[in-house]
Chains A and B, each alone.
Chain A
């Protein structure tokens, strides 16, 4: 009995140590891995509209912008991330993503919600805010372009959502959407410009209707609940069988 207990404690210490080390390593090596919230979407505050729908105008808080100034070292800008102060839009990029003029010493990256939006990306419609993502040298104010795509994360308002699009000043381009977490969507952005979530016109304004995103979440939640319920049932059956075996012996 003492030997069994000692083995269990040794294995327990080892597993505990290995698990904590692995979790910490994953946290630093792959910080983009999803957090664990046990199937329940974490609470989010209301969406901040730059131009709110009439029904939400009285309670709406304006969307906020974000800005970051970085120094240019060896002709390169280091890897960094910028987000708006309300956390509704963010970008992340690797070292060398931003193509800077050789003489530049600093650059400023901005994410700003637009009051006057570009033309609608027919046949789809913009939902939520349009964010302008720009970068320029300081203090000259010369535009900076991208050498390779950066990652953009956008929060979408409740309701229907189809895809993210970027506007280059004359045309809208559909972005390849990556991971979706809650109402946050990631996409690869090949050029700096305006970014917005878009949807089919028929769905616009129907906050009570399920969006594809909500549906995916509900299906995921359902699958998760099914697994949890199945495990509870298995556990209950095992428990009942154990008790009946104990009684039998």
Chain B
């Protein structure tokens, strides 16, 4: 388990960024594309956007795992119809992933 020094400011920043991402990608983009092109395309577009927006920071090697994570969160959005579960799952994965890495 990682040491927890500095986790509060980092955790708060990570939670903020993850929540903004969910509000925009799942809340707006997926919702918009679902309205325009249907549920499946909405899911795929939001997963693609989510993976693409992480490329500048993590490189192309991170694209497969981001695509998979994007698909999971998009599925959660389609299933629940809400953004909050996606934001909670996203923040939990970020912080949990760091703590147990």
Contact = CB atoms under 8 A, between A and B. Distances in A.
A223 interface: yes
A39 interface: yes
B76 A38 contact: no
A227 B74 contact: no
Interface in A1-36: 4, 7-9, 11-20, 22-23, 26-27, 30, 33-36
Interface of B: 2-3, 5-7, 9-10, 13-14, 17-18, 20-21, 23-25, 27-29, 32, 34, 39-40, 43, 47, 49, 53-54, 56-59, 61-62, 64-81, 93-94, 97-98, 101
A234 interface: yes
- Summarize A's interface: helix, strand, loop or mixed: helix
A154 B2 CA distance: 17
B62 A235 contact: no
A238 interface: yes
A194 B85 CA distance: 49
* A-B interface, 3 closest residue pairs, ranked by CB to CB distance from nearest: A19-B72, A15-B75, A12-B79
Interface of A: 4, 7-9, 11-20, 22-23, 26-27, 30, 33-40, 42-45, 179, 220-221, 223-224, 226-228, 231-232, 234-235, 238-239
Contacts of A221: 57
B84 to A, nearest CB: 15
19 contacts: A8-B39, A8-B78, A12-B75, A12-B78, A12-B79, A13-B79, A15-B47, A18-B75, A20-B72, A22-B71, A33-B65, A34-B62, A38-B18, A45-B5, A179-B61, A223-B57, A224-B53, A224-B56, A226-B56
